[in-house]
């Protein structure tokens, strides 16, 4: 897999029938190792190991209904009250981050009302704070560490 602009973590990877699988510590199972999954697993470890978010507050591919359509967030981090806190949209490294990616995550956030949004392809990362009153996002250098 392509090196990313993120810390490298000790992933568990296995192969079967010429396919590779990576262990997802949130879902507690091996999942197919695609370029997007490679990015997602790096971000999960980043949130846990560098930003100190408890694994118990992280959901992967959580369903959300937007305009009567069922969608899935790549990563959703909850606060201790069970409310959405961070939504992460992961793209494969070959996919350029465009306004479409922000529009996609913003649509999810109309329903979820998370405080922070992250859009990444593993090479380029955008961190935003959602100002729900002004209905806009503010770009940040990073997201804050977990605080109880």
Q: Identify any residues that bridge with 22 across adjacent strands, giving them in sequence order.
A: 13, 31
Confidence at residue 84, expressed as pLDDT on a 0 to 100 scale: 93
- For 64-122, how does the pLDDT look when each residue is reduced to its tens digit (9 = 90+)? 777 787 878 899 999 999 999 999 999 999 999 988 888 888 888 888 889 999 999 99
Q: pLDDT (tens digit, 9 = 90+) per residue, 40-63?
A: 999 999 999 999 999 999 999 887
Distances in whole angstroms, Cα of residue 40 to Cα of each of 36, 67, 68, 134, 137: 6, 25, 26, 30, 22
pLDDT of 1 reads: 81
Q: Is 131 left (phi over 0), alpha (psi -120 to 50) or beta?
A: beta
Amino acid 106: pLDDT:
82
pTM: 0.91
Radius of gyration of the chain (CA): 15
Mean pLDDT of 114-135: 90
For residue 51, the surrounding DSSP H or E stretch is none
Mean pLDDT of 4-20: 92
Q: What is the Cα–Cα distance from 54 to 136, expressed in whole angstroms? A: 28
């Amino acid at each position: 897999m392509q090196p990313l602009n993120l810390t490298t973590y000790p992933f568990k990877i296995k192969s079967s029938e010429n396919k590779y699988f990576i262990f997802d510590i949130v879902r507690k199972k091996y999942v197919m190792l695609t370029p997007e999954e490679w990015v997602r697993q790096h971000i999960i470890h980043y949130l846990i190991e560098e930003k100190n978010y408890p694994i118990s507050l992280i959901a992967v591919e959580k369903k959300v209904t937007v305009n009567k359509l069922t969608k899935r967030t790549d990563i959703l981090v909850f606060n201790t009250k069970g409310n959405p806190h961070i939504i992460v949209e992961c793209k494969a490294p070959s996919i350029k981050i465009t306004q479409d990616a922000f529009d996609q995550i913003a649509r999810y956030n109309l329903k979820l009302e998370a405080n922070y949004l992250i859009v990444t392809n593993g090479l380029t990362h955008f961190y935003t704070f959602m100002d729900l009153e002004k209905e806009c996002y503010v770009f940040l250098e990073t997201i804050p560490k977990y605080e109880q």
